Amino acid sequence: MASSPFSLEGKIAIVTGGGVGIGRSIATEFARAGADVVIASRKIENLEPAAAEIRTLGRRSFAMALDVRQEEGVRELVERTSRELGRLDIMVNNAGASFRAKPEDISPNGWNAVVGINLNGVFFGCRWAGRQMLAQGGGVIINVASIAGIYGSTMMAHYGAAKAAVINLTRSLATAWGRQGIRVNCIAPGPVETQGYLDVLHKTTPDAQKVYDAVADRVGMGRWGRVEEIAHPCIFLASAASAFMNGATLVVDGGPPPGLGEG
């Protein structure tokens, strides 16, 4: 029997930001689909339990603590993965962070920190994964953006700008590397219920529950997304099921609000 086109059996993957939230779900679901998965983020205390969970699924895994804003750490992540596991088939640039603020209140340091994680870190991941994949004859890169990069965000303009750049970078790299066997695609989640986002919301918003409910009301399906609802489309993008997709941005946001476009 032929294997499923959604299978990741025998593939080697890296997921940045893989210790919690969307990243951890992507890493775990990749392992369930058959991949060995290396995870990285700044906090080793989040990574070790996630790597242990992957190993309980019968897959190889190790964790590396690093800051994606520091290119040397990203280079070592890719090189160690290729050295110890033999190659790199899938790179998921998921690490990201932000904070809520009015545009006029974002300091240069705040701007640079958010752009550094959400854009520079993605570029470093693409650059070093791309070099490895060019040398081995192909691979898949998935960049995690956001609908904020498409529609903008009044309270996270720095984040929206960085994610818009990630979407454009994805197109540029797909064009540059497509004929060398490298596919570069992007996923743009809508509001997803992660502990990290909820913590930011509660720390920075006096009426957090009201904001939470208002966000859900703007989603066509009337609710926030779940982490696995982002991880499963990433399996599609990583697998042979999406073999003719390159430079695309897959929007996973629960749909437009009811009544949009009506007179």
Alpha-carbon distance of 200 to 99, in angstroms, equals 6
Helix ranges restricted to H, 178-207: 195-204
Catalytic residue flag (residue 197): no
CA 79 and chain centroid, separation: 20
* Tokens coding 248: 């695309």
**For 20, phi and psi rounded to 5 degrees?**
-145, 170
Q: Nearest 5°: CA angle at 243, between 241 and 244? A: 120
Please return the burial class of 217, using the count of CB atoms within 10 Å of its CB with bins 0-12, 13-18 and 19+: exposed
99-121 in b/e burial notation, b at 16+ Cβ within 10 A? Answer: ebbeeeebeeeebebbbbbbbbb
Q: Are 122 and 169 in contact (CB under 8 A)?
A: yes
Q: Between helices 121-136 and 157-177, what is the axis angle to 10°?
A: 10
Per-residue three-class SS string for 105-153: HCCHHHHHHHHHHHHHHHHHHHHHHHHHHHHHCCEEEEEECCCHHHHCC
- CA 21 from centroid of its chain's CA atoms: 10
Question: So which residues are the catalytic ones?
Answer: 159
